[in-house]
């Protein structure tokens, strides 16, 4: 997605060789028009996958996912990043490790918002080591539903997330694939 790559080149900040900061349009301030454009790309790629529901992870996945859900006319569900206080069998929960923040967190999904017949598209802002997407996929499969695809806004292709997801057989589509980060350097794949 050329306009996304241009935006990353203009406004992205490589904090190190592994972490990219895009607070000006995705993670803090949000460029709604760009989010809408992302929705058109996700729709175009996934529209024939029989998707019935779109899942994302709070909080930075919400904006691009809402725009995609709007365009695909599908329900959107946000996975919560904290442990549910009511563990009464009404939720699915899994622990995810964040290599970026060096911590574990819980992903929670209410049983009310997923069915075993659902074909789910998972969308997230970044793909790094793949742990967040794999956690979301575990919840979908625990519910007896199917992961129909994984949409990523920014993939850091030098980390192993994509290969871990592809090993599991998931169809991964990323809007921008970063090949390399360094001081004043952001390189893309194609």
Residues in region 82-141 near ligand 5GP by CB under 6 A: 98-100, 124-132
Closer residue to ligand 5GP in complex, CB, 85/183: 183
Q: Does 19 bind ligand 5GP (CB under 6 A)?
A: yes
Q: How far is the CB of 67 from ligand 5GP (least distance, A)?
A: 17
CB of 20 to ligand 5GP, least distance (A): 4
- Using N-to-C axis directions, what is the helix angle for 2-11 and 32-46, rounded to 10°? 140
* Positions 143 through 162 that interact with ligand 5GP (CB under 6 A): 156, 161
Q: Number of residues in contact with ligand 5GP, rule: CB under 6 A? A: 21
- Spatial contact of 81 and 57, defined as CB atoms under 8 Å apart: yes
> By rule CB under 6 A, what string of x and - marks binding of each residue 37-66 to ligand 5GP?
--------------------x--x------
Whose Cβ is closer to ligand 5GP: residue 142's or residue 160's? 160
Q: Should residue 31 be labelled a site residue for ligand 5GP when binding is judged by CB under 6 A? A: no
C-alpha of 13 from chain center: 20
Least Å distance, CB 164 to ligand 5GP, is 9
- Interacting residues toward ligand 5GP by CB under 6 A: 19-22, 27, 57, 60, 98-100, 124-132, 156, 161
């Amino acid at each position: 997605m050329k306009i996304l790559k241009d935006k990353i080149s203009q406004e992205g900040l490589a904090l190190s060789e592994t972490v990219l900061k895009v607070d000006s349009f995705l993670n803090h301030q949000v460029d709604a028009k760009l989010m809408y454009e992302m929705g058109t790309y996700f729709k175009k790629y996934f529209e024939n996958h029989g998707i019935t529901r779109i899942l994302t992870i709070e909080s930075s996945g919400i904006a691009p996912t809402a725009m995609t859900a709007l365009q695909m006319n599908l329900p959107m569900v946000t996975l919560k990043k904290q442990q549910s206080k009511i563990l009464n069998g009404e939720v699915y929960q899994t622990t995810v490790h964040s290599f970026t923040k060096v911590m574990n967190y819980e992903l929670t999904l209410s049983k009310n918002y997923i069915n075993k017949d659902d074909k789910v598209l998972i969308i997230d802002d970044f793909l790094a080591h793949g742990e967040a997407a794999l956690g979301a996929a575990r919840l979908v499969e625990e519910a007896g539903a199917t992961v129909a695809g994984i949409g990523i806004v920014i993939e850091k292709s030098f980390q192993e997330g994509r290969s871990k997801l592809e090993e599991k057989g998931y169809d991964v589509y990323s809007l921008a694939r970063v090949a390399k980060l360094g001081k004043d350097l952001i390189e893309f794949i194609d």
